[in-house]
Amino acid sequence: MMLQVAAPSWHRELATAIRDADQLMDRLGLPDDLRIPARRAAKLFPVMVTESYLARMRRVDPDDPLLRQVLPLDAETARIPGFTTDAVGDQQAELAPGLLQKYAGRALLIATGACAIHCRYCFRRHFPYGDAPRTLDDWEPALATLRADDTIHEIILSGGDPLMLTDRRLADLIQLLAEIPHLTRLRIHTRLPIVLPSRVTDELLELLVSSRFSTIMVVHANHACELAGDCGVALKKLVRHGIPTLNQAVLLRGVNDTADTLADLCEQLVDLGVMPYYLHQLDRVTGAAHFEVAEDIGRALIQELRRRLPGYAVPQYVREEQGESHKTPLLS
């Protein structure tokens, strides 16, 4: 008799993720006047939310900080001067298809264009993912570029979300990278431990700790409510496996733009063993202007965090500027 191997639960959860504005409204019992604008804005960038993430939202509350990150609003359709489709100059930093380098010693590989959630403020909502590599062969030009440049020591897997790759695909990619002798560090930029914690399987952990690389995980949570339940368990697992885990957040109006909210996020991260790394000023991407918080307010928030928290719990407040050799600190 053939044993049927069940698909990992995270595959099933992805297959049943919410991909429709009306479904999101219905599930959360949201007011009807949000429907038409939500449908309209969802045409620009489709809705996507996992069940796990939805379960951490309050019902009947359009201001829920998790919902705000995924709810399409009329404001997205506004054209605001200064907000563009390639806000961070990614298209100029491309060394090979899917390989970006902006900073010395490290390069970033767009491992896939897919994500488990669609964050409305995302700077990649306009990225031409159709051109990004999909098969192992498609990565060859990027790998050849990496092989030829021994000044690059760290490879960052990004996307989209690199953990959207199956374990098999991810293992193959890591193996190809591990064959490049001057690469010593592997960094994974992912939001999956936050929005799809079931992705953090024992198999994944084994895969990550068994490569020759020193592996660093950078997750992306913006609000302490995201860390509840399964998510906290998944983060603890990463940390217990000895994988240094950092968090980057984006400063977002109506989500985390108060000192209380940010302090709570940072403290809860630290309690899970995850170190706050960056607080990003919003990239000025078309459709996200309503999330912007003025830099003066951001600076005041960080100063308040410094008064309340240990030094290691305060993230660096940075902005991405085209042509700079590193992320630009907004507060010394």
Ligand X SMILES: *Cc1c(COP(=O)(O)O)cnc(C)c1O
Residues found near ligand SF4 in the complex (CB under 6 A): 115, 117-119, 122, 124, 159-161, 191, 220
CB of 245 to ligand X, least distance (A): 14
CB of 280 to ligand X, least distance (A): 9
Helical axes 167-178 vs 202-210, angle rounded to 10°: 10
Q: Is 89 left (phi over 0), alpha (psi -120 to 50) or beta?
A: left
How many Cβ atoms from other residues are within 10 Å of residue 178's Cβ?
14
User: Which option in ligand X, ligand SF4, none does residue 232 bind, with CB closer than 5 to 8 A by kind?
Assistant: none
CB of 124 to ligand SF4, least distance (A): 5
CB of 187 to ligand X, least distance (A): 8
Residue 100 contacts ligand X per CB under 6 A: yes
- CB-CB contact of 193 with 187 (8 Å): no
Q: According to CB under 6 A, which residues from 132 to 191 bind ligand X?
A: 156
Q: Choose, by CB under 6 A, the member of 45, 83, 103, 129 that binds ligand X.
A: 103
- Smallest Cα–Cα separation from 226: which of 188, 266, 258, 278? 266
User: Which option in ligand SF4, ligand X, none does residue 115 bind, with CB closer than 5 to 8 A by kind?
Assistant: ligand SF4
The type of residue at 34 is L
Q: Choose, by CB under 6 A, the member of 93, 178, 205, 243 that binds ligand X.
A: 93
CA dist 129 → 49, 112, 114, 253 (Å) = 19, 8, 9, 27
User: Which option in ligand SF4, ligand X, none does residue 43 bind, with CB closer than 5 to 8 A by kind?
Assistant: none
Q: 30-39: long-range contacts (C-beta < 8 A, 24 or more apart)?
A: 30/60, 30/62, 31/62, 34/62, 34/71, 34/73, 37/72, 37/73, 37/74, 38/71, 38/72, 38/73, 39/72
- Smallest Cα–Cα separation from 250: which of 291, 192, 205, 304? 291
Residue 102 contacts ligand X per CB under 6 A: yes
Say whether 54 sits in a helix, a strand or coil: helix
Residue 269 contacts ligand X per CB under 6 A: no
User: Which option in ligand X, ligand SF4, none does residue 119 bind, with CB closer than 5 to 8 A by kind?
Assistant: ligand SF4
> CB-wise, 171 or 288, nearer to ligand SF4?
288
Q: According to CB under 6 A, which residues from 7 to 36 bind ligand X?
A: none
User: Which option in ligand X, ligand SF4, none does residue 171 bind, with CB closer than 5 to 8 A by kind?
Assistant: none
User: Which option in ligand SF4, ligand X, none does residue 117 bind, with CB closer than 5 to 8 A by kind?
Assistant: ligand SF4
How many Cβ atoms from other residues are within 10 Å of residue 319's Cβ?
18
> CB-wise, 56 or 124, nearer to ligand SF4?
124
> CB-wise, 41 or 132, nearer to ligand X?
132
Q: What gap in Å lies between CA 149 and CA 95, rounded to an integer?
A: 11
Instruction: Enumerate binding residues for ligand X (CB under 6 A).
Output: 93, 100, 102-103, 106, 108, 156, 326-327
